[in-house]
Amino acid sequence: MTRTVQQLFDLTGKTALVTGGSRGLGLQMAHALGEAGARIMLSSRKAEDLEQAAAELQAAGIDARWIAADCAKESEIHRLADETLARMGDLDILVNNAGAAWGAPAEDHPLEAWDKVMNLNVRGYFILSQHIAKKSMIARRSGRIINLASIAGLGGNPEGHNTIAYNTSKGAVINFTRTLGAEWGKYNITVNAICPGFFPSRMTQGTLAAMGEETLAAHAPLKRLGDDEDLKGLCVLYASDAGKHITGQWLAVDGGVSVVTGG
């Protein structure tokens, strides 16, 4: 029997791990998945932030818990994956969202900063995806992986941004998504990416302060920045059976910025 739209988007009984989930875009996506019925495991480095985020989700009626871990370190990633599976059972949805940025002119960019960004934004996504797939998703031939990229990964740097490592890492995430989606389709694991534009967050606050929210919003055809709802629909689409025939894809959620910049 053909399911209704509501049934296709329903995540009741599903489990989800959201890295970088204690604030910002990660917490927004955790809300979305939880509101659609999923049980949520949040992760980031700071226990205090996670405790507050989990309490916020629980106050909204969402089954949420947390594990503090550094997703730039292989041993921590493995611990996070194993503890999540031990506490929640098989994992249906993995949201790779933990990330870092660094601003410096390319000619002066510190190598240690380059490595920090790459280790968290690319290497960490690979290690966690591989571990979860081998421990849970491949054997069951079922899984949804959602990678947070960025419109910064679609093209070069606007003058004054100076974020070569971040842009490079997000470009890598897009092709990581395409390649993994192609390779793991045989296991019925979908792998897709979200490319946000500017959303007010702790990571973007420096850029927003320097360039001005109104100025940045003016560059978008929709004349606005992202808000606390704008990633919810796409996240649930990728995570649910409504998106079961979508894999290896990316979609920009940027108010149209990438349209006018050629991304």
Q: Which backbone phi and psi does 262 adopt, to 5 degrees?
A: 85, 15
Are 178 and 158 in contact by the 8 Å Cβ rule? The answer is: no
Q: Name the nearest CA neighbour of 24 among 123, 92, 127, 95.
A: 95
Q: From the DSSP assignment, how many helices (H) and strands (E) are in the chain?
A: 12, 7
- Rounded Cα distance between 41 and 88, Å, is 8
Q: What is the Cα–Cα distance from 236 to 4, expressed in whole angstroms?
A: 15
The two structure tokens encoding residue 208:
């927003």
Which strands, in side-by-side order, build the sheet including 93-96?
64-68, 39-44, 15-19, 93-96, 143-148, 189-196, 250-253
C-alpha angle with apex 78: 77 to 79, nearest 5 degrees?
Answer: 90
Residue 44 token pair: 């980031």
Report the SS3 class of residue 87.
helix
125 catalytic, yes or no? no
User: Which one from 125, 166, 187, 238 is the annotated catalytic residue?
Assistant: 166
Specify which residues 95 forms β-bridges with: 18, 146
Please list the active-site residues.
166
